[in-house]
Each structure stands twice: as structure tokens, then as C-alpha cells.
Amino acid sequence: HNRGIVARRLDASSRTKSIDMAVQTVAMEMWKDVEERPMAAAALLLVLGLAVTVSYAVASHFVGSTMRRRKLKDIPKAPGGLPILGHGITLLRQTPWDLFTKWVVEISPIIRFNIFGEQFVVVAEPKFLKSIWQSNIRAYTKDMTFTYKPFLPLLGTGLVTSEGELWRKQRLLVSTVFRIDILEEIVGMAKRAVDRLSLQLEKVRNTKETVDLEELFRRLALQVIGEALMGLTPQECDDVFPKLYLPIMEEANKRVLRPWRMYLPSWTHVEFSRNVTALDKYIVGLIRKRRQLRKHEVKQCGKAAAARKFDILDRVLDHLGEE
């Protein structure tokens, strides 16, 4: 019996040594290959590294998604949906808002769906909305990893996306700037913008010319925002924002239901990045010019905007200080 145990141990030891020798041989061959073909070896290591990174990211995503799905299991699930894709294809084929309305009317006032494993809840019940927005607001955080992510190049860390102390600081700034007087001025700006649009539409009345009302109303909104925030003329707004801001928003909206667009190397991705950079440069340029103008006004007249209209940007700079 003892001789049998010793024989088995020797046999196991022999197998272990054989495996060690085989591993060493493979390692030596791989190292030799690396020395002879370093570029090929580097490419292989890069591919392996990317594969491991992607696999880890996908696994983490779906593990997290599974845990969230279990927490939401008591909420009714929307009909349809495919493995992995979830309800993404369904939402692409129909207008999402109309589909959400159909679900809450026909199935439940609170219902969940998923897109690529991400869980979403549609709420159309007043008591639940009160809990989310008022009584239990601290229990909910802003979704920066999916819902807001396509819009972060525009929103940054502003009031819409920030939380905690940063949110309170910016909320205080907004409450200081948006007083009754500026809101009254915005009403007049909106009225003038509507009058300009009416004249534009009047030119095509009783003609067969088609008009893109969606585009016109977008421009109208941007004209009001541009004038209220930075004192821009309607023409300045039309020259810049439709070419830079609107394409960014259009692509960001597409990325909500097609998140892969954020990662695919395409010409659309390049154009999106260019537009973001150009818009940032334009806005930063306006702010810097305004700072210089205010310094000149203070030197000449003793205060800023003594002979021009005082807009929201002036109010923000007053609050933050010139430096």
C-alpha cells in the first residue's frame, strides 16, 4: 500500500515536471519570437490587452445590470425586447414618447424597460413623482453614465448635471442672476422673435413653398437664449448656433438610443468633436471679449455696461468677479 502511494506521488511529480518543462519551452519559444519579430509581438499584446479590457467592461456592465434588474423586479416590465439589445430596436422603430405614453396608459403608470442592459423606469403616477422630485429626492442621483452621457460635451459640470455642494453653489448663482427683472426682459425678447418669425412666414403665405417649422422654432429659441445670455443679435445667433449647436444636439439625441455611436471611429464622430471644440472656442471667446469690454467700461465710465444693455452674462460676471 505504501509502495503504491509512493509510486503515485512519483508519477504525479513526474507529470508536474513535464508540465513545467513544457511551459518553459513555450515561454522560451514565445520570447524568441518576440526577439525575432517585435512588431508582430507588440501588435498581438495590444490586441490581447484590448480584448481583456473590452471583456471586463462588458462583463461589469451586465453584472451591474443584473443587480439593478433584481432591485426593480417588482415593477412591471414593458412588452417585447430582445436579448442584450433590450427595447432599443423597438424605440428606434417608433417615437419613444408615444410608446412610453402607450405603456403607462395600457399597462401600468410605472413601468420599466432596458436598452443594452441599462434599466429605465417610466413614471406617470403623481405620488411616485412627488417622491422622486420632492419628499425623497436625496435617494435619487442623476444618471451620468447613460442618460446624460451623450450630452456631457454641452452640459459639462453645470447645474443640470452637478450634485451636492457644486449644485448648491451654482443654484445660488442662478437664483441671484435670474431675478424678476431679467425674466420680464426675456418676455419682450420672445415677443420680438415671434414677430420676426411671423414676418418670415408671411412671405410664403399663399405660395407652394415648404417651410421647416421645426428648424424655424429651434432658431427662434436660440435667438432668445443668445440675446438674453450674451446680448447677441438674431443674425449672430443664426450665423453660429445652427451650424454648431444644433448638429451637436442632433447627434447627442441619436446617441441616447444608439450608444455605440459614441465609440465608433466614423466621420460623424469627427464632425461631432469638431463642432464641440468650435462651439467651446466661440463661447470662451465671447466671455473673454466681454471681460475686456467691462474693464474698459469701468476705466472710462466707472462701471460696466453704463451705455449698453446689461445682460445675464454681465450679471454672472458681477457675481463671480472680474478675475
pLDDT value at residue 165: 86
Residue 220, pLDDT score: 94
- Angle at which helix 180-202 crosses helix 213-230, to 10 degrees, equals 150
The SS3 assignment for 44 reads helix
Task: Return the DSSP state at 266.
Answer: -
Q: What confidence score (pLDDT) does residue 234 get? A: 93
Nearest-10 Cα torsion for 244, 245, 247, 253: 160
180 Cα distance to chain centroid: 31
Q: How many residues does the chain have?
A: 323
219-243 pLDDT, tens digit each? 999 999 999 889 999 999 999 999 9
Residue 5 has a pLDDT of 41
pLDDT of residue 58: 61
212-215 LR contacts (CB < 8 Å, sep 24+)? 215/242
Per-residue pLDDT of the chain (323 residues), as tens digits, is 444 443 444 454 555 556 566 656 655 665 555 555 666 656 666 777 777 776 666 666 566 666 666 777 888 899 988 887 888 888 888 888 899 999 999 999 999 998 877 888 999 999 989 998 888 888 888 888 888 899 999 888 888 888 888 888 888 877 777 776 677 788 899 999 999 999 999 999 988 889 999 999 999 999 999 998 899 999 999 999 999 999 999 999 888 878 888 888 889 999 999 999 999 999 999 999 999 999 888 888 888 877 788 888 888 888 877 55
Q: Cβ distance 118 to 65 under 8 Å?
A: yes
- Alpha carbons 117 and 72: distance in angstroms, whole number: 13
Tell me if 177 sits within 8 A of 319, measured CB to CB: yes
> pTM, whole model, 2 decimals?
0.70
Rounded to whole angstroms, how far apart are CA atoms 49 and 45?
Answer: 6
